Structure 1
Amino acid sequence: MLVVRDTEIKGRGIFADQDFDQGEIIEISPVIVIPKQQVKLIGKTVLCNYYFDWHGESCAIALGFASLFNHSYRPNAFYRKKFDEQVIEIIAHKYILQGQEITVNYNGKVDDSTPIWFDAVE
């Protein structure tokens, strides 16, 4: 189970309300796929910070908690896009204790230190 709480420096975040084992699926979020013809429009909305790049040049808004996980270059979880099923899975990269914030690397790989579009805080 997951809960949304305020963090000290990142605004709101997603926290574990139970322990998760490494490799355990934390969340399966269905997505709304935004066609490539409409992707530029999303940049003019508040959703511009919450979408995932999707198959081809489209993007997707994840329902559930998936669009609300904070970024970390040392994440304890990662995401996997399942294009055919139109879902995003959030999976524990390491053991996560109840009460810990769950973070993912927005670059898509846990060890990718490529700068993102904002100044990341750890």
Structure 2
Amino acid sequence: MLIVGNTNIKGRGVFAQKHFLKGEIIERAPVVVIPAQEVKLLDQTVLGNYYYDWEDKAAAIAFGLVSLFNHSYYPNTYYVKNFAEREVEYIAYRDIEAGEEITANYNGSPDDKSPIWFDVVDELSSTQLKN
């Protein structure tokens, strides 16, 4: 249902291969929890850009394609952390067309426009898979 491809301006991204309806689960990804005392070490690696804040000041690295979803302040998904199951679930925030890039707001809430740790390249219109 998802494929990795190149975006027009953000490099690699993940794209829908089918139409997703608002509220539909896009992906459910298991995570590995990094203990709080190891998060500073994680921040010194490239994986420091890919983890989720987790309970008890820990971090979590998600497996699967969700770690490749690009950030957007106008996302088409949102995520829910399931601490008990050690997974992250992505849900369609609105209908998503086949070929459209899957995006998420890294702040956690789809409507949170707070600055994040890198300069954001955002497209207001939907990004389609570049051939």
Partner of 2:31: 31
* 1:8 positional shift: 1.7
* 1:56 positional shift: 1.5
SS for the counterpart of 1:118 is coil
Residue 71 of structure 2 aligns to which amino acid in structure 1? H
Partner of 1:45: 45
Residue 117 of structure 2 aligns to which amino acid in structure 1? W
Distance 1:21 1:56 in 2: 34
Partner of 1:108: 108
CA offset digits 1:99-121 (Å, max 9, x no partner): 00010000000100000001111
**Count of residues paired in the alignment:** 122
Residue 96 of structure 1 aligns to which amino acid in structure 2? I
* 1:18 positional shift: 0.6
Partner of 1:76: 76
Residue 89 of structure 2 aligns to which amino acid in structure 1? E
Residue 64 of structure 1 aligns to which amino acid in structure 2? G
Partner of 2:61: 61
Residue 45 of structure 1 aligns to which amino acid in structure 2? T
* 1:66 positional shift: 1.4
- Deviating beyond 2 angstroms after TM superposition, the runs of 4 or more aligned structure 1 residues are none
Structure 1 spans left out of the alignment, 5+ residues? none
Residue 25 of structure 1 aligns to which amino acid in structure 2? I
Give the TM-score normalised by structure 1. 0.98
Distance 1:85 1:76 in 2: 24
Percent identity reads: 58
* 1:10 positional shift: 1.1
Distance 2:13 2:56 in 1: 29
Structure 2 spans left out of the alignment, 5+ residues? 123-131
Give the TM-score normalised by structure 2. 0.91
